[in-house]
Structure 1
């Protein structure tokens, strides 16, 4: 899932949405015999996680990817 980015009012909603996706995918897995992977795309930098309940969100997903492109850009010096 790529939700850019949960606002403070959405902190609980984001986790609930992940939980619902997990439940639906697990139910589908029971029906089809296939395994489904659930991930979410997180922003770079700890300061961006105030609106995500990482502890509970991580329980619902198989892995979390980080937007690495936020770590460097034209604003940088290229040598850091």
Structure 2
């Protein structure tokens, strides 16, 4: 059994979102994290992006972009 407490993950998303960024994540109860949420402070607000675990199980473990919430953006109202 491995004594490792972290694993290497790589983020993938559309365009420049995630663009292959690698990071170290901690195992949760001995398993890969099913979803990660990262907040970025930007001028005018905070952007929160969500990624979900991909199908592959070898390191680096892929996470696919799921959604983005921009707290600083104006509300979109349909007329």
Which TM-score bucket, shorter chain as reference?
Answer: under 0.3
TM-score (norm 1): 0.24
**Higher RCO (CA-CA < 8 Å; seq separation 6+):** 1
Whose strand fraction is larger, Structure 1's or Structure 2's? 2
Whose helix fraction is larger, Structure 1's or Structure 2's? 1
